[in-house]
A and B are shown apart, each in its own frame.
Chain A
Amino acid sequence: MNQTTLLLFAGLGAFLLLATLIGQFLAWKQGKTGVIDNLNQRIYAWWLMVIVLGVAFAAGKYAVILLFLGISFYALREFLTLLPTRRGDYWALLVAFYVALPVQYFLIAIDWYGLFSIFIPVYVFLLLPILASIGGDTHHFLERTAKVQWGLMIAVYCISSVPALLTLEISGYEGRNLLLIAWLILVVQLSDVFQYVCGKLLGKHKVAPSLSPSKTLEGLVGGVFLATLVGGALYWITPFSFSEALIIALIVNALGFAGGLVMSAIKRDRGVKDWGAMIQGHGGMLDRIDSVCFAAPVYFHIIRYFWT
């Protein structure tokens, strides 16, 4: 870890310490209420995320790739668990878990951009329906195949764009690519937090009542605005200038919000509130990572196009 990374994590630690103290103070003063309980669970989960990410950063590139491989695995399993797949999908699911997932991350580890950028969208896309047709079950055939492909795109391809940031060669920024990941995750996750806080404090007008009743216009505008400011303020850890950082932060925050909406629509359709029950107070892995799924690939390609 270099000086900037240490500084960033020290700042995060100090910030979380403050949040923990406030949370515990509120719990001590007001007793156990639902909102404060939820707040403290969220703070606890944030500690967990910062520590896991910090340890992986300290251990280096391959540890980060392995970490996101694990995240993809949990996300993919949550997604496919909710799908009504049938016996005939066995080989397609087997390939999704045991081939597509590890191969995608292996290609990132060996830095083969030409293949990892098309492996799932092209090769796996063609392979899955072939395997499904061998299964011999024509019932809802296209629907089933498309759903498995979609799960792989979201949970593996999109999430793998995060460690793929480590493969980018930006002149004058050598050895600091981990900070690209830190910036993205911090900005997008903070946007979620700010949206939650602004929505709770000021929320009146619902943005998408049929998708997610808790998302309000006030939360959206306030959350995206504040997180974009933080993204701009942290421009010194990125290769961007202040104004570039603002624009990119706005793009990833808007995509993150849209990602949350899309994933809510799927949950609604399947009749569940959360994707899983992995982290207390946060639902499953996909509930936590849905905004990153949508923001990461675009963020990756913006940097790749303009900075390399």
Chain B
Amino acid sequence: MLATLLRSLILGLAKFITGARAHGEFSFEQNSKPTLYYANHTSHGDFVLLWATLPAHIRQQTRPVAGADYWGKTPLRRFIIHQVFNGVLIARDGNTSGDSPLTPLFDALNQGDSLIFFPEGTRNLTDADLLPFKSGLFYLTQQHPSLILQPVWITNLNRAMPKGYPLPLPLLCTLNFGPRFCVAPKTNKAATIEFATTALTALQQDTPT
């Protein structure tokens, strides 16, 4: 109840403040297979915004992937990420156990859930458009050859919600959805990462700024 209320509030606020608009190719019809929505990462609000622009029935089965080091820290954060956003936590560093840190993601995909994923692994606070992708995206496509990849370029959110400042600025943000694709079987790591990176950066030029 509280979680539902909080969810509507956060989604409504995110949409109003950023005027979030989705552009490009986003047909949400054929949706039986798990989809990996992957995007550039410049702000904590990225996944909220991406989540908010998805239609409600897609959103219900789409779970944001978030860093356990940040979101697992306090009870409030844990409540928000689990109850409000139905997120999947991932250990980003200090992986001491034998399991792959991606195991929770594999489980979610096996259940038929879709994921929101930031392949840069951390927020990009540099002047570069995109940080080099970590290998997580490759291992996900290895484990799930039928996984549909949906690149989304998020513009302006780093200006609307800059790191370390208290209040968001009501600047307009756009989310540019590119053509979805699958990675052919036996594609090697470098080629997979390069293809996914190119597909994402190509959307940057198309984004109306």
Q: Closest CB-CB distance, B42 to chain A, in whole Å? A: 11
Residues of B within 8 A of A78 (CB): 172
Residues of B within 8 A of A87 (CB): 162
Residues of A within 8 A of B170 (CB): 73, 77, 97
Q: Closest CB-CB distance, A42 to chain B, in whole Å? A: 21
- Closest B residue to A276 by beta carbon equals B172
Q: Decide yes or no whether B112 CB sits under 8 A from chain A.
A: no
Knowing A77-B172, A80-B171 touch, does A90 contact B165 (C-beta < 8 A)?
A: yes
Q: Decide yes or no whether A98 CB sits under 8 A from chain B.
A: yes
Q: Closest CB-CB distance, B100 to chain A, in whole Å? A: 36
Residue pairs across A and B with CB atoms within 8 Å: the count is 31
Chain A contacts with B in 49-101, Cβ cutoff 8 A: 73, 77-78, 80-82, 85, 87, 90, 93-94, 97-98
Residues of B within 8 A of A271 (CB): 209
Residues of A within 8 A of B179 (CB): none
Residues of A within 8 A of B21 (CB): 277
Q: Decide yes or no whether B159 CB sits under 8 A from chain A.
A: yes
- Closest A residue to B127 by beta carbon equals A86
The majority secondary structure among interface residues of chain B is loop
* CA of A46 to CA of B171, assembled, Å: 26
Kindly supply a per-residue 1/0 record for chain B positions 157-172, scoring 1 wherever the CB is within 8 Å of any chain A CB and 0 otherwise. 0010010010101111
- Closest B residue to A275 by beta carbon equals B172
Q: A78-B172, A272-B208, A276-B172 are in contact. List 6 more A-B contacts (CB 8 A).
A: A73-B170, A80-B171, A94-B165, A97-B170, A270-B209, A277-B21
Residues of B participating in the A interface, judged by any CB pair closer than 8 Å: 19, 21, 156, 159, 162, 165, 167, 169-172, 208-209
Q: Which 10 A-B pairs have the closest CB atoms?
A: A81-B172, A81-B171, A93-B169, A90-B165, A77-B170, A87-B162, A90-B162, A97-B170, A77-B172, A80-B171
Q: Could you list 21 A-B pairs, sorted by A, with CB under 8 Å? A: A77-B19, A77-B170, A77-B171, A80-B171, A81-B156, A81-B171, A81-B172, A81-B209, A82-B209, A85-B159, A87-B162, A90-B162, A90-B165, A94-B165, A94-B169, A97-B170, A270-B209, A271-B209, A272-B208, A272-B209, A276-B172
Residues of A participating in the B interface, judged by any CB pair closer than 8 Å: 73, 77-78, 80-82, 85, 87, 90, 93-94, 97-98, 270-272, 276-277
